Structure 1
Amino acid sequence: MKKLLFTALLALPLTLFVPAAAQAQKKTTAKATVQRDQLLEGKKVYSKFCASCHQLDGGGVPNLNPPLSKTIYVLGDKNRLIKIILNGSNESLEIDGETYSNPMPQLDILKDQEIADVLTYVRNSFGNKAGAITASEVKAQRTKKK
């Protein structure tokens, strides 16, 4: 009888934690799906609006359009990157000793989610690995612009 009771008590915590583990797995899977979906959508936006200047491989064009691979502009401050998309840029940029001087047009015609998607795509492509950008972060910068 004691052995049966002991076995039942050992099994009890497992039944309590299995649902929690299953819930955690579902949340992780859902988060991964959102990220994957955001990257897929971002790639579409990139192909349509960015690739002609920055190239499909993110390599840029020497002395004109900067590369998007492993630069502080891509991997650094999210807000600075968002502002570049919203406001464009007329500044020359120096990256790894090379100057890029082609003006970038503002792309504020894109929706907040589109900007978040494309920037998340860029920050996680071309050898980059950085955090996602959300539509609410883009919206906050767009509001400051006005």
Structure 2
Amino acid sequence: MKYVCCLTLILVFGSAFISRPSLEVHQQPAVKASMDRGKTIYLQRCMACHQVDGSGVPRLNPPLDGASTVKGNDKLKLVRIIIKGMTDRVEIDGEYYDNNMSANPDLTDTQIADVLTYIRNNWSNKASVVTAAEVKAARAKIK
């Protein structure tokens, strides 16, 4: 009898937690829209160097697919790279890349958030989205 009561309580009260959609589910359309906009920017601005599949070019342009820098938590670093570009030799995951990346200060906070969200969640990458508010805060630190 004691187990039946416990099971009933779990079913009644537990279902409220189980059936409640997560916040992420509510954001799905917004994330999809951001990814779509980010893909357009990627194809226009990034693909020539980083390739359509994010694989990069050995010793020249680093891969974005699977790169620890892309999937990591340092969004400020990613925003800085997009805004300021890169002129130094860079080491990513044990490999060195020598090609310069041009600066993109003309991109809006939303455009940067969209392209980073696309890159961080495309190919084999699965990372948190980047918001325009996060880009705005990062941009303020970069200046």
TM superposition score normalised by structure 1: 0.78
Q: Does 1:38 align with 2:31?
A: no
CA contact (8 A) 2:68 2:93 kept: no
Q: Which residue of 1 aligns with 2:45?
A: 49
- The aligned runs of 1:1-146 (5 Å cut-off) are 25=21, 29-76=25-72, 77-146=74-143
Please identify runs of 4+ aligned residues in structure 1 that moved more than 6 A.
none
What's the CA shift for 1:27?
5.8
Percent identical pairs in the alignment equals 44
Q: CA deviation at 1:30?
A: 3.3
CA RMSD, aligned part only?
2.0
2: CA distance between counterparts of 1:70 and 1:112?
A: 24
Tell which structure's C-alpha radius of gyration is larger.
1
Q: Secondary structure at the match of 1:90?
A: coil
One-letter identity of the residue aligned with 1:104 = M
Cα shift readout 1:91-113 (whole Å, capped 9, x = no counterpart): 21223432101111111111100
TM-score (norm 2): 0.80
Aligned pair count reads 127
Structure 2 Cα separation of the partners of residues 73 and 81 of structure 1: 8
Unaligned ranges ≥5, structure 1 = 1-12
Which residue does 1:8 correspond to in 2? none
| Structure-2 separation of matches of 1:121 and 1:29 | 17
